[in-house]
Structure formats: structure tokens, C-alpha cells
Amino acid sequence: MKLTLGFSPCPNDTFIFDALVHHKIDTEGLNFEVVLSDVEQLNKWAIDGKLDVTKLSYYAFTYCVNDYVLLDSGSALGHNCGPLLIKQPETTLTSESKIAIPGKYTTANMLLGIAFPEYQNKVETLFSDIENDLIEGKAEAGLIIHENRFTYQDKGLEKVKDLGEFWEEETQLPIPLGGIVVKRTLPLIIQKKLERVLRRSVEYAFENPNSSADYVQSHAQAMEKEVVDAHINLYANNYSVSLAEKGRKAVEMVFEKAEKKNSSVFIER
């Protein structure tokens, strides 16, 4: 059986999917047509129901939970890994300030809306362009995700607020950034098979950390190895193997904060 599979070229995604994509593990007869794209594009495709299996932001999941169900493995959750609101040191932010965000449906944007509801002048920007937009004066502040948290200070930018810390203080839960979902229309036996196969891929990645190096680096957009390694260490962790009880509570909290939920979030046991 062949399924369409979408995830981002970010190091934590290529790290956990390498073994699955390259059949280094038993995929139980499943084959995949892989589509790599920016997380916000994946979010929009998920809302349109384009892919069978896809990475998405947890906030985007609140818009398409009736069409997709969450896999227990593959998520990006954790502590001290949330989005950062940054600006130029001399900039004073007001409710009129233009804020560059990495996408309407990102969990980062949801958190910005909770922490700073007065900031409504938002412009959607590819996440990797946000730092330069601030430097060039195209926006007064930017909401950064992924590896940019490791590079913004080197570019002379400063942190306004760590929205991951804000979330953790508010909820006492890890920050749920993104997860892997599968279409509800696929038979339950296939959903559970996917859950097993993905967990196997994640476990293989942790047990053989050098095995995915070439695949990760080939999509790392000229990122330095130190940044790649820091990215993986931050966003790929025990929650990527299994959400466990605390991870599930964190995901449920996203739906509570977004005030959205119709269908059950998780695959039935």
C-alpha cells in the first residue's frame, strides 16, 4: 500500500523519518510518496485534506481534527523549545507594530494571540526569512521557530518573549509544537500499522544517530552541523517516541485554548 507522506525538511523531521523513508526498518508493507514542504504549507494542505499522512502544527490540527487523527509517535514537544518573539534592540513595540509570523495556522501564532492579543498587525512570512525582514526593516518584530532560535542573537536581534516559557508557566505542560496525523478515512488497521512503523523509525533514529546524517544534511539548507545537532537535540526527544500522558494532556490543552474540538484526537485503543 502506498501513502502520501508530508513532512518538513527541518532536521528533526528528516532525522525521525529517515529510517522509514529509506526502509531501514520493517514498514509492514507500507510504501510512501514523500512530499517535503514548509510547515505552514503542510498545515494548509492538511486543512484541505491533501495528504494521507502529514506533519502539521498542533494549532492547524484544531482546524482539521474531523479529517485526521493523531499518531502517538513523531511529535515535536518539549521544554524550552517554544517560539520566540524578537525585535531590533532599538524598536519599541505597540499595538500597531507589524509582526512577521511563520504562518496563520502555526502553534506559534496561536501562542502570540494568547500572550499578546493586542498585536493584530501580522504578516505571514516564510520562517527562514523573518530575521532578515527585521534587519531590513520590513517588520518591527518577528515570531521565530525552528533553528532561528539559535541564530537571532548573532544577527543583533533581541528576545521580547519566549512563548514556550509563557505556555509552560500557564499550563505546567510541555509546549506542543507539531505532530503527525493520518486520515480518518484510512482503515483502523492501517492507522495502527502506521503508528507502529513510525515509532520504529523514531526508535531507530535514536539508536543509530549517525545513520540519518546524510539525509538530514542534504535538506538542512547549508545549516552548520552544530546548529543541526542542536535542532535535533531540542525538538526530537522522548515525546517523539511517544506522547505519553503528559504529552497527550498538552495536545488536549491546545484544543482547549483554541476552543475547538469535535472528533476524538487520538487513535482508538
Could you give the residue numbers annotated as active site? Answer: 146
C-alpha closest to that of 74 among 1, 179, 191: 179
C-alpha closest to that of 127 among 47, 40, 43, 6: 40
Cα separation, 204 vs 220, in Å, equals 20
The three grid cell numbers given for residue 229, joined into one nine-digit string: 545537532
11-21 vs 225-235: helix crossing angle, rounded to 10: 80
Helix or strand or coil: residue 123? strand
- For the four alpha carbons of 136, 139, 143 and 146, in that order, the dihedral sign comes to negative
The three grid cell numbers given for residue 149, joined into one nine-digit string: 532560535
What backbone phi and psi angles, to 5 degrees, belong to 67? -105, -25
